[in-house]
Chains A and B, each alone.
Chain A
Amino acid sequence: MSARKKHSTADEYLQYLKGKLSNGERHDFERGLESDPFEKEAMEGLETLAPDQASEDILALHGQLRKRLARRRRITFYSVAASVASLLIIGTVFLQIYDFNPDKPDEMTKQEMPVISNEKDQAVSAETGDVSPEKESITKEKTGASAFPEADKEKKGERNAKGPSTKSEQVAQAPAMQEAREVDNEIVSLADDADLEVSEAAEIAGMEPVEEKIIMKEAEPQMNQYAAAPAQRAEEKGAPEMAGQKRSKSASNVVPAGYTEDTVSDTVLSQTVAEPSIGYEAFKKYIMDHIRYPDTETGSSREVVILNFTVTAGGEITDIKAIRSPGEEFTEEAIRLIREGPSWRPATNALGTTEEVIRLRIVFTR
């Protein structure tokens, strides 16, 4: 008994369950169970299965855990691969931009030139928009376009701050751009590379005002909010500053979306069950100290009353009902214990406190 270990291995459990231990070994093992409620409850669960089932299940669980550990490694590998790929794509984009700027002038009017060449400078492009409004449709596009470099800048800033995650966002945009490509072939030739910034694509699209709207609408659901919001704004003829504000809002909306999983698991974790305000241990002691075995002729040495009651969101105890009881006197005593007992802390979920039905088992011994 002094040689008892800190924990029993799965193998010892199975040996025990299969009856392969001598009586002395069984006793030692059981002493371990008696001294540790975790072990004891685990045995209560495991002995509900046939020993073969138990060992099969435990083995399967170890297999699942190994798989789970391997999965994480693969994800790490994929994300490394993904960032390498996006770096390559970004590199290609820069090359392409340099390649295709010289070809542009033939296709473009002079007013539109600065928009492209000054794409990083919001002030200049906005000015261009204001100074040379030819047709309404073009102005429209320009207002839209002038807003984009801001998005561009914002994105770049974010990229500096966040590094890889922004890259992956760009990669995520790729399918949306492909969508746009399918919609209009003319756009394809210009917005060819999937990794062009959305803003650039929109500017280029601006040269074909009519088609642009259609494309934006088609692509909208697939694009993230960077792309969707400016598209609407272009239609609304919104002022650039306004647009900027709105965008920074929408940009911040994008960020949490990436963390949905965390948020969800946090929500789950913020749930708590209703509990005696002094904790179950102390509550149990309170019950033990205050329980009176009713003065009855009937009743054996051990009687159990099972009570259901509701702990309201405000922590009140209501609806006390006996689910099982050997008799009226026992029920009354059990109810008295709860009524006169310590207060209860209500259960909580993500939205605040909530009511919960508690089931308690109260054991009378004499």
Chain B
Amino acid sequence: MLVISGKHPDKTDQELLLQFRESGRLEILGELYSRYMHLVYGVALKYLSDRTDAQDAVMYLFEKLITELPKHEVSNFKSWLYVMTKNHCFMEIRARKSTEKHLEGLKTEREFMESDTEMHPIDREDRSIEDALKECIDKLKSEQKACIELFYYEKKCYREIADQLSMDERKVKSFLQNGKRNLKICLEGKNVS
């Protein structure tokens, strides 16, 4: 089992950030960064599809944090880090493209159509728009509807849903994703999102 915890596990990101800003002590920033290093690594892996490159990206981004953090007001460290990570990956991919010229494959595409920074209504804790949401779910195509209902209402995990609907787990995820996107469009049509 992997247990990684800093010296101040109870401190919030914001507290650590403030402490770093005041003291400039790198170990504080290191502790903050280590909370998210696996996420940075995961995202880098997704875009760069190479373990070594992704590890380099993780260390590079730490250096970049040291110089960039003091220059910016950062109210949400995690989402700021997410943006930094993605930007770095895109830059990296661009640099590769110019050397390799040709790079096909979905992994290198800018899948902005599929990613969302704002939390989807269905993921929010308060479901004040429950009725509208239900209406919209009913309008979804059958697989999307089934996946959404099983996941969000019956609290099944991807694997169980895949078993139940006898489809691949990846399919489940994409039905969920597309279902959610259609839901959002539907909710926006009702002006409740």
A contacts, CB < 8 Å to B: 1-2, 6-7, 9-11, 13-15, 23-24, 26-27, 29-31, 34-39, 41-46, 48-49, 53, 55, 57-62, 64-66, 68-69, 72, 262, 265, 269, 271, 273, 280-281, 283-284, 287-288, 301-302, 306, 323, 356-363, 365
Q: Return the chain A residue nearest B83 by Cβ.
A: A38
| B contact residues vs A (CB 8 Å cutoff) | 1-4, 26-27, 30, 33-47, 49, 51, 54-55, 58-59, 62, 64, 67-68, 78-79, 81-82, 85-87, 90-91, 94, 97, 104, 108-120, 123-125, 141, 151, 155-160, 176, 178, 180-182, 185
Q: How far is the CA of A31 from the CA of B122 in the complex (A)?
A: 10
Q: Is A58 a contact partner of B41 (Cβ separation < 8 A)?
A: yes
Q: Which residues of A contact B117 (CB under 8 A)?
A: 37, 281
Residues of B within 8 A of A44 (CB): 42, 46
Q: Which residues of A contact B46 (CB under 8 A)?
A: 41-42, 44-45, 48
Of the candidates A10, A72, A360, which one forms a contact with B26 in the assembled complex, judged by CB atoms under 8 Å apart? A72
SS class, residues of chain B in contact with chain A: helix
Residue pair A30, B3 in contact (C-beta under 8 Å): no
Q: Which residues of B contact A36 (CB under 8 A)?
A: 119
User: Nearest chain B CB to A260's CB is how many angstroms away?
Assistant: 14
Distance A64 CA – B59 CA, assembled complex (angstroms) = 8
CA distance A281 to B151 in the complex (A): 26
A340 CA to B40 CA in the complex, in Å? 36
Given A2-B125, A10-B2, A273-B94, 19 more A-B residue pairs with CB atoms under 8 Å apart are: A10-B37, A11-B4, A26-B157, A34-B120, A34-B176, A37-B117, A38-B85, A41-B86, A49-B45, A57-B54, A58-B37, A60-B55, A61-B55, A65-B34, A265-B64, A273-B87, A358-B110, A360-B113, A361-B109
In the assembled complex, which residues on chain A have CB atoms less than 8 Å from the CB atom of B2?
A: 10-11, 14, 55, 58-59
18 contacts between A and B (CB under 8 A): A6-B78, A7-B78, A13-B42, A23-B160, A24-B155, A24-B157, A34-B151, A35-B119, A38-B39, A38-B43, A42-B39, A60-B55, A65-B33, A68-B59, A265-B67, A283-B112, A284-B112, A323-B104
Contact of A288 with B185 at beta-carbon distance under 8 Å, contacts A7-B35, A41-B115, A271-B91 already known: yes
> Do B109 and A23 touch (CB < 8 A)?
no
Q: CB-CB < 8 A to A360: which residues of B?
A: 110, 112-113
Check B123 against A361 for contact (C-beta < 8 Å).
Answer: no
Q: How far is the CA of A14 from the CA of B54 in the complex (A)?
A: 18
Query: For chain A, what secondary structure do more than half of its interface residues adopt (helix, strand, loop), or is it mixed?
Result: helix
How many residue-residue contacts, CB under 8 A, span A and B? 178
The 6 closest A-B pairs by CB, nearest first: A42-B42, A45-B45, A45-B46, A26-B157, A35-B123, A45-B42
* B109 lies within 8 A of A30 (CB): no
Flag if B113 contacts A42 (CB, 8 Å): no
* B78 engages A38 (CB within 8 Å): yes
- Chain B hits for A288, CB < 8 A: 185
B114, A363: Cβ atoms closer than 8 Å: yes
Complex alpha-carbon distance, A69 and B176, angstroms = 41
List the B residue with the shortest CB-CB distance to A42.
Answer: B42
Measured between beta carbons, the chain A residues less than 8 angstroms from B104 are 323
Residues of chain A contacted by B55 (CB below 8 angstroms): 57, 60-61, 64
* List of B residues within 8 angstroms of A262 by Cβ: 67
Q: Is the CB of B43 within 8 A of A61?
A: no
Cβ of B78: which chain A residues have Cβ within 8 Å of it? 6-7, 38
The answer to whether residues A45 and B43 also contact, given A7-B35, A273-B87 and a CB cut-off of 8 A, is yes
User: Smallest distance from the beta carbon of B169 to chain A beta carbons, Å?
Assistant: 10
Residues in B neighbouring A34, C-beta threshold 8 A: 120, 123, 151, 176, 180
B113 interface neighbour in A31, A69, A363, Cβ under 8 Å = A363
Shortest Cβ gap from B68 to chain A (Å): 7
Q: Which residues of B contact A65 (CB under 8 A)?
A: 30, 33-34, 37, 59, 62
A361 to B29, CA, bound (A): 36
Partner of A31, one of B86, B123, B141: B123
B51 near A53 (CB under 8 angstroms)? yes
B54 CB to closest chain A CB (Å) equals: 7
Chain A residues, CB < 8 A from B67: 262, 265, 269
| Contact A43–B42 (Cβ < 8 Å) | yes
